Structure 1
Amino acid sequence: MAELVYPPVIGFARTAFKALDLKFDIAGTENIPRRGGAVLVSNHIGYLDFIFCGLAALPAKRLVRFMAKDSVFRHKVSGPLMRAMKHIPVDRSQGVHAYRHALSALRGGEIIGVFPEATISESFTLKTFKSGAARLAQEAGVPLLPMALWGTQRLWTKGHKRDLGRNHFPITIRVGEPIEAPAEEQTDKITDRLRLRVQDLLEAAQRAYPVRPKGPDDTWWVPAHLGGTAPAPRTAG
């Protein structure tokens, strides 16, 4: 079936990125498979993260179908777009339906995007990973694709106003090598391996990030363990 909506949305997003003068540093895109199913897994630090994860898949000419909370699909603007791009609504009270939808898509050769922390990390550090991504990869017989984003929280995140002006914000993205998810391995062990790999990629992205806070009022987007004033993990939502 022809993709009538996704490509124009991508074009609009790229035009918007250019207008905002965002500076991208993306490495590891060669790890995105050119064909076949995979579960793309990323940290979650901002409301626009799914757009940037999808951007990293473009060199491989792949479109990512993201699992997102069903409230996004009920919105009068985002809802029709999300459905037309074949993203997958997740109703936490009826999670089995979303799981089966994602499993079918994976078996059909799609890349499914998952944020295993389930919500934005206000500390900008990794929260506990839920096991759904690993279970999907195991049951579908596809690899996990670890990814880390950094800098996206400066545009729009929980508890802070949007800053979508022409601020030349750098966005750093790192894509790791695929992780196999054997059916015979314990799901929790795969999830632990996955989280450790995303952590490694996140630290690499943070080290490569080309700017530091401009002053005391600009430290909110930096985790406490790196000298910033973001909430500590134990108090962050």
Structure 2
Amino acid sequence: MSDLTYRIVIAVCRLLFRALGLRFEVRGLEHVPTRGAAVLASNHVSFLDFMFVGLAGSDRGRFVRFLAKEPVFHHRPVGTVMRAMGHVPVDRRHGEVALRQAVKKVRAGEVVGVFPEATISRSWTLKDVKRGAAAIAIWEQVPLVPVIVWGGQRIFTAGPRWSLRRGKALTVLVGAPIHPLPDATPDEVTAELRIRLQGLLDEAVSTYPDHPRSHHDRWWLPAAAGGTAPRPEVAADLDAAALARADR
């Protein structure tokens, strides 16, 4: 697989983020393997999360192949670029097809990126974590690496809500990998993954260097952290409404 397109996109992203004055902090990068297959499982707070995780992977010399929603691949030129980068479209009605493609990439020694919450969390808290990432790691006996991205919701997220204000902080935390036993179940490994993700998310929120400028700027903080984001149960209703609109 040629990685020329991926290299070009990485270079463009770096220029874009430099123009936006983003202040990146990446911790735990040593947990991304420099060789061999792995599954990266990240939380999801913005439309740009795959770029942030992908940049972290590239800093270790790895190109992360993400599972992404199929509609993204229907738009040119975005879909053409996504396919050229080796990303995998996911039809939520037939997720097993994407899983098979992800397994093929893992068997080829690739690093596969998964957002196990499936959609952006509108509450900025962890949603239910689906079992696909854990299942791939068990089947292929590869490390499952938890990743947390924080701050991306301030740039471009569901709603849609976006801001080009310069100088925002962006945190990426990479946790120690989970090495699932061959006889482990997806439920067991998924439960452990969620615990690891929650710990990293708590760390990211508590150590994030930026603070709201005013009461109206508290929207990007979870309600439990003093923000005005919808609580998880309200966010779940918003998700359901968005899916219903998409189905129509």
Q: Secondary structure of the equivalent of 1:92?
A: coil
Task: State the 1:59 CA deviation.
Answer: 2.1
Q: Tell me, yes or no, if the aligned pair for 1:145 and 1:178 is still in contact at 8 Å.
A: yes
Query: Where does residue 103 of structure 1 map in the other structure?
Result: 103
The answer to whether the 8 A contact 1:137-1:143 is kept is yes
Map 1:176-195 onto structure 2 (within 5 A): 176-195=175-194
Q: Distance in 2 between matches of 1:164 and 1:140?
A: 41
Matches within 5 A, 1:63-74: 63-74=63-74
How far 1:56 sits from its partner (Å)?
Answer: 1.1
Contact 1:146–1:197 under 8 Å retained in 2? yes
Cα distance in 1 for residues equivalent to 2:147 and 2:93 = 28
1:45-91 alpha-carbon deviations (Å, 9 max, x no partner): 00100000111112210000000011000011210000000100111
Task: Provide runs of 4+ in structure 1 moved above 4 Å.
Answer: none
Match of 1:235 in 2: 234
Provide the alpha-carbon RMSD of the alignment. 1.0
- Report the CA distance between 1:93 and its aligned residue: 2.4
Q: What is aligned with 1:77?
A: 77
Give runs of aligned pairs for residues 37-56 of structure 1, distance below 5 A.
37-56=37-56
Which residue in the other structure is 1:159 paired with? 159
How far 1:216 moved relative to its partner? 0.9
Alpha-carbon distance, 1:164 to partner: 2.4
Amino acid across the alignment from 1:17: F
Question: Which amino acid is the alignment partner of residue 218 of structure 2?
Answer: T
Unaligned runs of 5+ in 2: 240-248
Whole-angstrom CA distance in 2 between matches of 1:193 and 1:50: 22
Match of 1:208 in 2: 207
Deviation at 1:161, TM superposition (A): 2.5
- TM-score, structure 1 as length reference: 0.97
Matches within 5 A, 1:119-158: 119-158=119-158
**What is the SS of the residue equivalent to 1:234?**
helix
8 Å Cα contact 1:39-1:111 kept in structure 2: yes
State, as a whole percentage, how many aligned pairs show the same letter: 48
What SS class does the counterpart of residue 55 from structure 2 fall into? helix
The range that moved more, 180-189 or 74-83, is 180-189
User: Which whole-Å CA distance do the structure 1 matches of 2:114 and 2:160 have between them?
Assistant: 23
Cα pair 1:172 1:208 within 8 Å, conserved: no
Listed as ranges, the gaps of 5+ residues in structure 1 are: none
What does residue 18 of structure 2 align with?
A: 18
Question: CA separation in 2, counterparts of 1:232 and 1:27?
Answer: 28
Deviation at 1:159, TM superposition (A): 1.3
